Structure 1
Amino acid sequence: MNPGNAIGEQTDLDDGDGTGIASPARLRRLAIVWSETEPCASHEIVTLRFAAARLAALLGLEYDDAQAGAGEGDATYYLPMFTLTREEADARGIVMESQLWGGIVPHGFVATKLVSHPPWGRPEAMPEGWKHIAGIEKYTLPGYSVFARDDAWQAGKALLQDGAVRLKWPFARGGGGQAMVRDQHELSAWLDAANDSLFPGGLVVERHLESAKTYSVGSSSLPGYDIAYWGEQHNVLDPSGSEVYGGSALTVVRGSFPSALAAGSDVVRAIVAANAYDRLVRGAYGVVASRRNYDVIVGVDARGDRHLGVLEQSWRFGGASMAEVFALEWFSRNPGSNSVAAETGESYGDEPLPEGAVLYCHGDAESPRKYARIIPYGC
């Protein structure tokens, strides 16, 4: 595996000094934002509103569940559902990370899986603003970003020489919008069934790993708080039988990552990879982000070669966010505590909830049931 294991290399995920961002006196209210062009599922809006109410109480801000309008001024702290483009941020007067829990990118594709891989194909097919990020291949899986059907076919054929391949629509969330193909026949059938009009938006063609484990690694800066965290994700089956995101169990600490993590462990390698990816992508595109979450996978391919790499970034409210909210509340109530275990869970069944879980989305036949909790010691 490529990433090193020097724990000192990865503290860049925490830009602060561990003391937190001073709460600006000008902040008066918290407002939520969801995209007016991208569809939002009802369970996502329910989750966002639940988190917003708790964050507003934690930060001492006013809150109502209406979406924020444009030009509300610098007295508003924003909680967006999506990573904002610079144009969307400017319309709301957001110029710095201390005004939102989320991120700002110059182009929409920068917030997606597309920046995780070098392009395959003709330069004219690439979106405006595309940049090649030298060295990113060291911290991701073998793969390519493509913007035309023929390029997807050629890139897929090349990767299939070493085993199964995953095809990923870049704007999908929670593990959705993916397919695995094992040979050229399956690749051709998938491409034939795909809507060709979607290809200009991009597609990721990536090595498939067996016996894989996915880590969540990240940090958040909010007024008065800086935290860092790491932990494992788990998947569940949705009503269609597809494997999707099922939650994250995290260790959350005040400030930055501790230096006492076990050197050489996959957790440390995941943190190092996430930090390097963060530095490369944010540096290349000038990303502003107060919440930075990275999915890092480790597993073996069909040839038995072991890989560890960053799958994607999340500079927005995401699947692990409610665990972060619960951890922030814990630190507020327990000023002497420097670490806590917290988790989120999503499922489509009616099994009993774990001890201490708070159910904030009941779900239905099409959407998941969601909960979050502080994990009691010993569990």
Structure 2
Amino acid sequence: MPNAGAPKSGVVLLDTRARTPDHEHAVHLKLADGLARLLGCPHVQPSHPPVATDGYYYLPTETLVDPKRHAALGICSEQDLFGGLVAHPYMATKAISHPLPAGASFPPGWTDAFARQASDALLRGYTVFSKADARSAAQLLLTDGPLRIKPVLACAGRGQQVITTADELEPLLADMDDQDLALWGLVLEEDLSEVQTFSVGQVRVAGLTCSYHGTQQLTRDHQGTEVYGGSDLVVVRGDYQALLQLPLDEPLRLAINQAMAYEQAAEQHFPGFIASRRNYDIARGVNPQGHLRSGVLEQSWRLGGASSAELLALQAFADDPALQRVRASTHEVFGTPELPADATLFYQGNDSELGQLSKFARIREHDHSE
């Protein structure tokens, strides 16, 4: 269990994005309120730029990059933020999930040692930082069948394309900015069918650690498009080993072990990496040769769609020291549904981009058994 550390003077929302949608900003404020309650301090909006001596706890909207710059805010350990901090931009994305093709160019701080150590937890694929290397990697992968092109800054599978020939790659590359590609990277990965996606994560706040496995649900937005509709989590008090004590089927047990291997490789090979919120998507499916494959798709070392459920679970464990396991869920519903009696509302309104939307979380199935 992490040390609770020195008391914090307040929780500060650190919005590092150019623009945050209304509904997300409302959720972030509510999360900051909940973290403040856990930490026993107020949620504050500083009147001056924060400095280390302020003693704040931060809720960043993205994985932070550059430990030296953020040390000036007082972010030096996982006890100083809900989220994560890495040394170089590519470390914050799914670019870390694959090695480079031989002889490829790479950005400062890149190491293939991560992918070597985590190889059993990864799908087959390559990360590239130039268009020429993307072409080389595509040639290598296409010999075994279709491959998936994955922009590393996109979320929830957006922007991904499956190609079956090298010619199909060219129009995709034509739309990419060379400088962005050199900084952030691009992933080319074996394409799986019949995919099942597991979510595995851990949060550590105020001396509490809880770990979980879960699934994501889809819903339809006002245009009829399938989008993220929430997460359903089984959360235990303790670390991943406590999670592995649950009765689990083999695919889920493998997914948890792969998430652990991925995380251990990050801790070993990414100097300056800290994270109090860790979430991994693990895919299980059939590759073009008909073989069953399982591997970590990406990490999230920042608040995410499941964080409202994570917060409710942390609060439940803080309120009841005998509590060992809960089921927590998040829900995103378009329109104006009647909310369940046990719902904690995080947002309800007419979002300027998405229309009428409700976002809430629930916690149930409290289990006190050891």
Same fold (TM over 0.5): yes
Q: TM-score, normalised by structure 2?
A: 0.86
Q: 2:174 aligns with which of 192, 209, 216?
A: 192
The reply to whether residue 247 of structure 1 matches residue 230 of structure 2 is yes
Q: Report the equivalent of 1:366.
A: 353
Aligned CA-pair RMSD? 2.7
Q: Report the equivalent of 2:145.
A: 163
Q: Is the contact between residue 21 and residue 222 of structure 1 (CA under 8 Å) also seen in structure 2? A: no
Q: Tell me the distance in 2 between the aligned counterparts of 1:188 and 1:179.
A: 12
Q: Is the contact between residue 326 and residue 365 of structure 2 (CA under 8 Å) also seen in structure 1? A: no
Gaps of 5+ in 2: none
Q: Tell me the distance in 2 between the aligned counterparts of 1:208 and 1:191.
A: 18
- Offset of residue 359 of structure 1: 3.2
AA aligned to 1:222 is V
- Offset of residue 239 of structure 1: 6.3
Q: Is the contact between residue 198 and residue 214 of structure 2 (CA under 8 Å) also seen in structure 1? A: yes
Q: How does 1:317-332 map to 2 (within 5 A)?
A: 317-332=303-318
How far does the alpha carbon of each residue in 1:278-316 deviate from its partner, in whole angstroms, 9 at most, with x for none? 000121012111211111111112332111111111111
The reply to whether residue 93 of structure 1 matches residue 74 of structure 2 is yes
Q: Is the contact between residue 285 and residue 294 of structure 2 (CA under 8 Å) also seen in structure 1? A: yes
Question: 288-297 or 155-164: which moved more?
Answer: 155-164
Change (3 A) 1:284 1:138: same
The reply to whether residue 109 of structure 1 matches residue 90 of structure 2 is yes
Change (3 A) 1:159 1:29: same
Q: Secondary structure at the match of 2:109?
A: coil
Q: Report the equivalent of 2:27.
A: 47
How far does the alpha carbon of each residue in 1:234-268 deviate from its partner, in whole angstroms, 9 at most, with x for none? 33455677654332111111112434334661111
Q: How does 1:1-379 map to 2 (within 5 A)?
A: 16=1, 21-22=3-4, 24=6, 26-35=7-16, 39-65=19-45, 69-73=49-53, 75-85=55-65, 86-120=67-101, 122-123=103-104, 125-132=105-112, 133=114, 134-200=116-182, 201-236=184-219, 244-256=227-239, 257-258=241-242, 259-262=244-247, 265-286=250-271, 287-348=273-334, 353=339, 356-362=342-348, 364=351, 366-367=353-354, 369-375=358-364
Question: 64-73 or 105-114: which moved more?
Answer: 64-73
Percent of residue pairs bearing the same amino acid type: 37
AA aligned to 2:280 is Y
- Offset of residue 21 of structure 1: 3.0
- Larger RCO (CA within 8 A; separation ≥ 6): 1
AA aligned to 2:23 is H
Q: Secondary structure at the match of 2:253?
A: helix
Q: Secondary structure at the match of 1:332?
A: helix
Q: Secondary structure at the match of 1:336?
A: coil
Question: 87-96 or 216-225: which moved more?
Answer: 87-96
Q: Tell me the distance in 2 between the aligned counterparts of 1:108 and 1:250.
A: 29
Change (3 A) 1:376 1:356: farther
Change (3 A) 1:72 1:348: same
AA aligned to 1:207 is E
Change (3 A) 1:170 1:78: same
How far does the alpha carbon of each residue in 1:170-229 deviate from its partner, in whole angstroms, 9 at most, with x for none? 122333332333443433332334444532231111122212111111111111311111
Gaps of 5+ in 1: 1-15
Change (3 A) 1:135 1:335: closer
AA aligned to 2:306 is A
Change (3 A) 1:311 1:33: same
